[in-house]
């Protein structure tokens, strides 16, 4: 068939196909909810944070599954609506019941299924408990708010099962917990270190971009002997990446403050910020973080 003729036939098929599809509006199929699990150690897994596009597939943050003699401790509980998938995924690696949930901070994509596991111990920083108590999602669900809170540091369990919760100050919110599994040399950073991009500084929940560099410096000074870092929403990282994030945030805040001091705009500050200096970084959220610095004064 000559080329022109072939294209016409192809075009007709495509056009007819489109018309046929247009005439019959099939209901959009429900997106199957699927979670992936990654093994870090014999008794530590991560149920990962799925891609946020399409939105229906966004399950919430990385959930650590720590299997101890006493039962399973989860760090965070993903977005509401993912409870059964989460339960099934935990069951795929252990028969032990979930006995404890640690919430790294208040956001719904980290606290959405606290009520899916029956009565468990819920643990969080005292400011996070206060923030969670204000959420509509917890109205009438008060038993699933943190029943155990702390101010600076809390240790749960001992020996192989020890978990240390640390608070280093305001960053993503005013209640960000860094969770350390000392026997395994692993840390869960929550959204204080969610990704290699500007952070969300949630000022409605006491977050502070201005405080970010100091808070991350506290993490670097206070947490040693760690090989694997579980970020809030990205694949696994190392403490070297946390160190890099501390430098990135130091530079971001300094650049925004300098621009503001010189009477420049956030757009000016963003345009002058060279993301290429930071290997593997995106700048999709840098401008918003700079705006938070401008707003914070
Ligand atoms: Zn968050």
Q: Is pLDDT above 50 for 18?
A: no
Q: How far is the CA of 34 from the centre of ligand 1 (A)?
A: 21
- Asked if residue 202 belongs to a domain, the reply is yes
- Asked if residue 103 belongs to a domain, the reply is yes
pLDDT digits (tens, 9 = 90+) for 147-188: 999 999 999 999 999 999 999 999 999 999 999 999 999 999
Q: Is pLDDT above 60 for 19?
A: no
Model confidence at 33, pLDDT cuts 50, 70, 90, reads: confident
* Segment 192-221 mean pLDDT: 98
- Asked if residue 114 belongs to a domain, the reply is yes
Q: How far is the CA of 132 from the centre of ligand 1 (A)?
A: 12
More confident residue, 19 or 280: 280
- Asked if residue 57 belongs to a domain, the reply is yes
Q: How many domains does the chain have?
A: 1
- Asked if residue 282 belongs to a domain, the reply is no
Residue 13 has what pLDDT? 44
Average pLDDT, the chain: 91
pLDDT digits (tens, 9 = 90+) for 34-58: 899 999 999 999 999 876 566 667 8
Q: How far is the CA of 130 from the centre of ligand 1 (A)?
A: 15
Q: How far is the CA of 192 from the centre of ligand 1 (A)?
A: 8
Residue 55 has what pLDDT? 65
- Asked if residue 86 belongs to a domain, the reply is yes
* Segment 189-201 mean pLDDT: 98
Q: What is the CATH number of the domain that holds 103?
A: 3.60.15.10
- Asked if residue 109 belongs to a domain, the reply is yes
The answer to whether residues 289 and 195 touch, using CB atoms and an 8 Å cutoff, is no
Q: Is pLDDT above 70 for 132?
A: yes
Residue 31 has what pLDDT? 73
d(CA 103, CA 176): 9
Q: How far is the CA of 54 from the centre of ligand 1 (A)?
A: 19
CA 231, chain centre distance (Å): 7
pLDDT digits (tens, 9 = 90+) for 66-123: 999 999 999 999 999 999 999 999 999 999 999 999 999 999 999 999 999 999 999 9
Residue 123 has what pLDDT? 98
Residue 176 domain boundaries: 37-235
- Asked if residue 167 belongs to a domain, the reply is yes
pLDDT digits (tens, 9 = 90+) for 54-82: 666 789 999 999 999 999 999 999 999 99
Residue 7 has what pLDDT? 46
Residue 57 has what pLDDT? 79
Q: How far is the CA of 260 from the centre of ligand 1 (A)?
A: 27
Residues near ligand 1 ion, CB 5 Å cutoff: 107, 191
More confident residue, 8 or 163: 163
Least confident of 25-29, 129-133, 211-215, 242-246: 25-29
Residue 22 has what pLDDT? 42
Residue 270 has what pLDDT? 98
């Amino acid at each position: 068939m000559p080329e022109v003729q072939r294209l016409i036939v192809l075009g007709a098929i495509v056009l007819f196909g489109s018309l046929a599809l247009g005439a019959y509006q099939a209901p959009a199929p429900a997106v199957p909810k699927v979670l992936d699990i990654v093994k870090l150690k014999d008794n530590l897994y991560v149920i990962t944070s799925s891609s946020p596009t399409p939105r229906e597939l966004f399950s919430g943050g990385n959930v650590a599954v720590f299997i101890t003699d006493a039962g399973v401790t989860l760090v965070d509980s993903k977005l509401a609506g993912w409870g059964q998938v989460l339960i099934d995924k935990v069951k795929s690696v252990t028969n032990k019941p979930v006995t404890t949930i640690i919430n790294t901070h208040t956001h719904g994509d980290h606290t959405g299924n606290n009520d899916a596991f029956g009565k468990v111990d819920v643990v969080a920083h005292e400011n996070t408990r206060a923030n969670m108590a204000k959420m509509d999602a917890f109205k009438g669900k008060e038993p699933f708010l943190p029943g155990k809170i702390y101010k600076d540091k809390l240790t749960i369990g001992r020996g192989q099962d020890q978990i240390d919760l640390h608070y280093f100050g305001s960053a993503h919110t005013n209640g960000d917990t860094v969770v350390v599994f000392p026997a395994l040399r692993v840390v869960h950073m929550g959204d204080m270190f969610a990704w290699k991009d500007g952070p969300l500084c949630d000022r409605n929940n006491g977050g502070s971009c201005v405080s970010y560099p100091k808070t991350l410096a506290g993490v670097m000074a206070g947490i040693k002997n760690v090989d694997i870092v579980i970020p809030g929403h990205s694949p696994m990282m190392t403490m070297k990446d946390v160190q890099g994030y501390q430098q990135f945030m130091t530079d971001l805040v300094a650049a925004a403050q300098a621009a503001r001091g010189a009477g420049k705009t956030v757009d000016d500050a963003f345009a002058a910020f060279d993301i290429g200096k930071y290997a593997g970084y995106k700048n999709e959220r840098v401008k918003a973080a700079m705006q938070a610095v401008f707003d914070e004064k």
